[in-house]
Amino acid sequence: MSGRRVVITGLGAVSSLGIGARHNFQQTLNGHSGIGMLELPGNHQRAGLPAAQIRMPLPEVIRTAEQAQFDRNALLGWIAASEALQQSGAMADGDAADSGVFWGTGMGGASTVEAGYVDLFVENKGRVRPMSVVAGMNNAAAAQIALRCQFRGTVNNYSSACVSSAQAIGEAYRHIHHGYAERVLAGGSEALLTYGVVSAWDALRVLAGAEAGQAQRACRPFAQDRAGLVLGEASAAVMLESLESAQRRGATILAELAGYGASNDATHITKPDADGQARAMAMALRHAGLDGADIGYINAHGAGTAAGDLAESQSIRKALGAAADKVQVSSTKSMHGHTLGAAGALEFVMTVQALASGSLPPTAFLEQPDPQCDLDFIPLKARHGQSMLAAMSNSFAFGGSNVSLIVRQFN
């Protein structure tokens, strides 16, 4: 594919595993799980459900006067985005009309919307807080990030369920590749652990249950004793940049974003389809100019549902062919849960660090492998000293959307 090369110069992350991209990655290498029993604010609880909640105090990145404008979704977003921005050092570059923000979220300001409903229908207040629209709108996080970075180029929002932020990163890659911007802060955020939203997911019967003492091992992708997916909250961001821009600034290049593939199953609204997934992976390989054998590690979508795990095991075989026997695959969702609109970005941030460090996070709690899922899923323990040319991050969504991103060593 002709076009400009796109490199990664900054990473940011906040999740149940902690604050900071490097810390999050280290936690996964340690096999540490951020999952616990769900504790919702207020009186209404949904008992028996584990969740990947961010329980540590958040850094004070906004002024008190701004709090009313910030849903938790945008707050998490700015925490991750400001980390990526800072690492990239891009602020020093001057004209930011050539810089944009591409952001993904599944449910945006869910807690603001729900608080409004409580005021109207439960408290009978007859009105909602004045900043309900400003805080609740789906583009709030992206807009606040652009405002704070003074990025005056294109600001786009993607809401495609669980691929939202992977799609944002992929589309940002194309945006730079084709010369529409020099740099884009791309990623996503999700903060949907509210009584209403969790109840809706629970009604779909896809959530894992857990006993109180067992909550941390509730998400077991590719395991025979899997129990379903575990919802989580998070945000993650990457600074993507044209190679020319990064070199001009003297920025440290962490890796090259070499390929993006996107497809839709168009078969079923929720049931995953191996063909659709394989098409996204094949497209990403084609764009990257790589063969399946060049991929040393895949951060799987691996949400921990029976249908999803099986489809992905098949689709990786389909896309990589014989190379699937050698590729190392793991699902870090076993530790940070399924962070929906933030998942693609969070797992991409893990993938970049795995490629750069040669250390591969395990699939935690994979003690009883599902024989139908017959790939090397890096059970239980991280592997170190794994140098490779390229790595892939997969994200698949309700609605049939599939996204694969490929990063390769920069040289």
Partner 1 sequence: MTTSLSTVINLLAKALDVPEASITGQTELESLGADSLTVIELIFDLEEKFNIQIGDERPNLVVVQDIADHIDSYLVNLKAAS
Q: Is 301 labeled as catalytic in the residue annotation?
A: yes
- Choose the catalytic residue: 149, 162, 219, 373: 162
Q: Is residue 131 involved in binding partner 1 (CB under 8 A)?
A: yes
Stretch near partner 1 under the rule CB under 8 A, chosen from 39-47, 49-57, 107-115, 124-132:
124-132
Residue 224 engages partner 1 in binding (rule: CB under 8 A) = no
Give start and end residues of each alpha helix (H) in 30-88.
Answer: 72-88
DSSP 8-state class, residue 106: S
Which CB sits closer to partner 1, 119 or 376?
119
Distance of closest approach, residue 130 Cβ to partner 1, in angstroms: 5
Q: Count CB atoms within 10 A of the CB of residue 387.
A: 9
The yes or no reply on residue 130 touching partner 1 (CB under 8 A) is yes
For partner 1, the closer of residues 64 and 387 by Cβ is: 64
Tokens representing residue 169 in the block? 């990163």
Q: Is 44 a catalytic residue?
A: no
Residue of the chain from 5, 46, 129, 148 that contacts partner 1 (CB under 8 A): 129
Is 219 catalytic? The answer is no
Q: How far is the CB of 123 from partner 1 (least distance, A)?
A: 12
**Residues with Cβ within 8 Å of residue 396, at least 6 apart in sequence:** 162, 163, 272, 277, 301, 308, 311, 312, 402, 403
Minimum distance of partner 1 from residue 65's CB (angstroms)? 5
- Strand-pair category, 328-330 with 295-299: parallel
Residue 68 or 200 with smaller CB distance to partner 1 = 68
Q: Which residues of 21-38 are buried (b: 16+ CB within 10 A; e: fewer)?
A: beebbbbbbebbbbbbbb
Give the position of tokens 């590749």: 177
Catalytic annotation, pick one of 175, 177, 287, 301: 301
Tell me how far, at minimum, the Cβ of 213 lies from partner 1, in Å: 41
Contact set for partner 1, span 276-335 (CB under 8 A): none
Cβ–Cβ < 8 Å for 392, 404: yes
Shortest distance, CB of residue 148 to partner 1, whole angstroms? Answer: 15
Site string for partner 1, 34-73 (x = CB under 8 A): -----------------------------xxx--xx----
Residues 175, 219, 338, 373: which is the catalytic one? 338
Query: With CB under 8 A as the contact rule, which of the stretches 32-40, 127-135, 145-153, 268-276 interacts with partner 1?
Result: 127-135
Considering the complex, what minimum distance in angstroms separates the CB of residue 60 from partner 1? 10
Rounded to a whole number of angstroms, the minimum distance from the CB of residue 115 to partner 1 is 14
Amino acid in position 123: E
Q: Which is nearer to partner 1, 65 or 122 (CB)?
A: 65
In the bound state with partner 1, the residue whose beta carbon lies nearer, of 63 and 205, is 63
Contact 381, 367 (CB under 8 A): no
Question: Which CB sits closer to partner 1, 60 or 95?
Answer: 60
- What would the x/- binding string for partner 1 be over residues 133 to 172, using CB under 8 A? -x--------------------------------------
Please give the angle made by the CA atoms of 6, 25 and 86, to the nearest 5 degrees: 55
Contact between 118 and partner 1 per CB under 8 A: no
DSSP alpha helix (H) spans, 181-336: 195-203, 243-249, 274-288, 306-320, 333-336
Helix (H) or strand (E) holding 147: helix 140-149
Torsion-angle region of residue 302: left (phi > 0), alpha (psi -120 to 50) or beta?
left
Sign of CA dihedral 332, 336, 339, 344: negative
Query: Closer to partner 1 at the Cβ: 32 or 148?
Result: 148
DSSP states of 361-378 as a string? --BTT--SB-TTS-SB--
Which stretches within 157-300 are classed as H helix? 164-177, 195-203, 243-249, 274-288
Q: Number of residues in contact with partner 1, rule: CB under 8 A?
A: 9
Active site members: 162, 301, 338
Residues that bind partner 1 (CB under 8 A): 63-65, 68-69, 129-131, 134
